[in-house]
Structure 1
Amino acid sequence: MSPRLAPDRQHTLTAPAQFRGVGIHTGLMVSVEVRPAEADSGIAFLRTDIDDRDALVPARGEAVCRTQLGTVISNAAGVTVSTVEHLMAALSALGIDNAVVALDGPEVPIMDGSSQPFIEALDRAGRRPQAAARRYLEVLEPVEVVEDDKRVTLSPCDRFEMAFEILFDSPAIGRQQVDLALDESVFRRELADCRTFGFFHEVEQLQAAGFARGGSLDNVVVIDGDTVMNPEGLRRPDEFVRHKALDAVGDLYLLGAPLFGRYEGVYAGHGLNNAVVRALLARPQAWRLITLPTELAEAG
């Protein structure tokens, strides 16, 4: 495990973190190197397979261009990077403020469908504090987005809290809820290993539409009727809602700073997550950037 985080300092990696895997939607093999970056530079993705235009894509909420079955970001040159949410969740949980994610393809590898492989790669690389103070985004007023029966709310809180509720017709899932005060140790213990999921009857249609071409029982929990098809079964009885919370952690890190606030998601997904990020940023009176007082940082 990486050394203990200094919560009042920005952090980057000590050395590059490397991994390789298949993109769940494209089916392409992609190699990734998460590189250290200067203080105050934030998180950005660099498409090393593109050399005829700007290939750097900042990981920010306004850069999100699609949210169907994953979060896709793009830059002004039209360069895109897909399925960023699981890696962004790992970077958020480990307190990595500044990094360049260099990849030689259009999609972050799905690995095992969770954030755990990314956590392990980042741990191997290590992290180091930087001289610059870490800025947190503090929610000052509630912000809510609603779409039919789906809802996401961000409200004031003196820490980062995550509550999520899902409901599916399949008895393999049903109604599940999770409510956590999130920090690094809680994310590692409660969310990091929870995998993405899908339904067997949708596979053919998804693949015909250009999705799920790299999906398998090695990287997706697949439900067929009332049954989980994966031979090893579930990692947790409520793995499904915990993965949705993991997704939300990654989507919220596109705010560009760690959050002091409470997230509540009901039947939500990437689209509403990005909608609430944009809604918050569009209301300057509803948030502010703060640094931690020294005594609070030392108390952890």
Structure 2
Amino acid sequence: MIADPLPRFEATLGGAFEASGVGLHTGRITRLRASPAPEGHGVRFFRAGKRGVAEVPALWPNRRSRPLCTALQVGDGPLVRTVEHLLAALSALAIDNARIDLDGEELPILDGSAAPWCERILAVGRVEQAAPRRYLKVRKRVAHAEKAHRLRIDPAERFELEVAITLSHFGQLKWTGRPTPDVFPRELAPSRSFGRLKWALPAKILGFFRRFGEPVLRGASSENVVALYGAGAVGGLRMPDEPVRHRALDLVGDLALAGHPLLGRVFASRPGHDPNYGLLSALMRDPDATELVVVGDDGALRRG
């Protein structure tokens, strides 16, 4: 028997919160304000610019491939970059509806983890709304592979992850579990973005000099990225398996672009933003792969 009950109703933030800081890739300061939103709103970004305010829903058709992050864009409108950590926190803490206003292209990276976002969300609280919460239940196995990346999602009664990566000097690292409101803030949210020191530094230098190209790691520093060195890290790791936990964190954020909470078990070997989206795209494009369900008064799932 599955102990943790699924929330029956949609929820939004109990109040507004703010954050500001440097973007990991652009190196520019962005100010962000997250506010409650009505039922059925979903998570939407509103980017202020010279031409007014552009609305960018956090949905999989709006996803754009950019180096080392997840980005969103509607048509040829302005880009919103590095959304995955905030989306992961909102998704794991069961926040369905939120308005995110920002004055720049990239969300603040803060300390490189989702912990600061969780702290802000938990501080304002979660408020249930009247609309039934609709879940996207996986009905059949869907798989995606590209090069050495292997991902699949199987039917399950809850959202579960089994994530594995292999790093030189570390060997194989695994994380298995459910990213629930209790588990995510404790086990996944504190894990930070990471990279090998031997390639992270050259990439940052290249990103600095390529001012007019795609921004990469211009805002990276020891305050927001873990630089792996040998079997350890400069400044130390928060957990011995922190890198795989961060890959699981990113996976939660990337799959939140489904637009509804998923019910399925994800197996991911060497996940990354592009492979994660490959799996989500394959799932969403198959009309027989999922169905929308709600939680009845008795706690059972039924079509919704």
Q: Give 1:6 shift.
A: 7.6
Q: CA deviation at 1:205?
A: 3.4
CA distance 1:155–1:198, shift in 2 (3 Å): same
Secondary structure of the corresponding residue to residue 275 of structure 2: helix
C-alpha distance in structure 1 between counterparts of 2:157 and 2:231, whole Å: 40
Partner residue, 1:174: 171
- Secondary structure of 2:69's counterpart equals coil
Distance in 2 (alpha carbons) for counterparts of 1:177 and 1:117: 24
Local SS of the residue matching 2:268 = strand
Partners of 1:130 and 1:200 lie apart in 2 by 46
Q: C-alpha distance in 1, partners of 2:258/2:290?
A: 11
The residue aligned with 2:86 is 87
Quickly say closer, same or farther: Cα 1:51–1:131, change in 2 above 3 A.
farther
Contact 2:255 2:276 in 1 (8 A): yes
Counterpart of 1:192 in structure 2 is 189
Q: Shift in Å at residue 20 of structure 1? A: 1.1
Aligned to 1:130: 129
Contact 1:54 1:79 in 2 (8 A): no
Alignment partner of 2:296 out of 268, 293, 299? 293
Query: Residue deviations 1:88-139, cap 9 Å, x none?
Result: 0000011110111111110011111111000111122222111111001100
Deviations 1:262-291 (A, max 9, x none): 111101200011111111110011101100
2:280 aligns with one of 277, 282, 299 = 277
- Partner letter of residue 244 of structure 1? R
* Equivalences, count: 289
Aligned pairs for 1:52-91 within 5 A? 52=51, 55-91=54-90
| Residue 210 of structure 2: aligned partner | none
For the structure 1 residues 294 and 126, does the alpha-carbon distance in structure 2 shift closer, same or farther, using more than 3 Å as the test? Answer: same
1:248 and 2:251 matched: yes
> Which secondary structure state, in structure 2, belongs to the residue aligned with residue 32 of structure 1?
strand
C-alpha separation in 1, matches of 2:125 and 2:103: 23
> In percent, how many aligned pairs have the same letter?
39
2:46 alignment counterpart: 46
Asked if the contact 1:21–1:30 (Cα under 8 Å) also holds between the matched residues in 2, the reply is yes
| 1:217 paired residue among 222, 231, 234 | 222
* 8 Å contact kept, 1:53–1:77: no
Find the partner of 2:239 among 236, 244, 251: 236
Give 2:203's aligned residue.
206
- Give the drift of 1:68: 2.2
Indicate the RMSD between aligned Cα atoms, in angstroms.
1.7
Name the aligned partner's letter for residue 221 of structure 1: V
For residues 53-75 of structure 1, give each alpha carbon's deviation from its aligned partner in whole angstroms, at most 9, with x where no partner exists.
66111101111111420101101
Contact 2:6–2:295 under 8 Å retained in 1: no
Q: Distance in 2 between matches of 1:125 and 1:181?
A: 24
SS at match of 1:294: coil
Deviations 1:147-184 (A, max 9, x none): 12211101100111011110122x1x321011112311
Residue number among 250, 264, 269 corresponding to 1:266 in the alignment = 269
State the partner residue of 1:149.
148
Instruction: Name the CA distance, whole Å, in 1 between partners of 2:53 and 2:23.
Output: 22
Structure 2: distance between partners of 1:223 and 1:47: 34
What is the aligned partner in structure 1 of residue 211 from structure 2?
none
TM-score normalised over the length of structure 1: 0.92
For residues 145 and 53 of structure 1, the distance between their equivalents in structure 2, rounded to whole angstroms, comes to 38
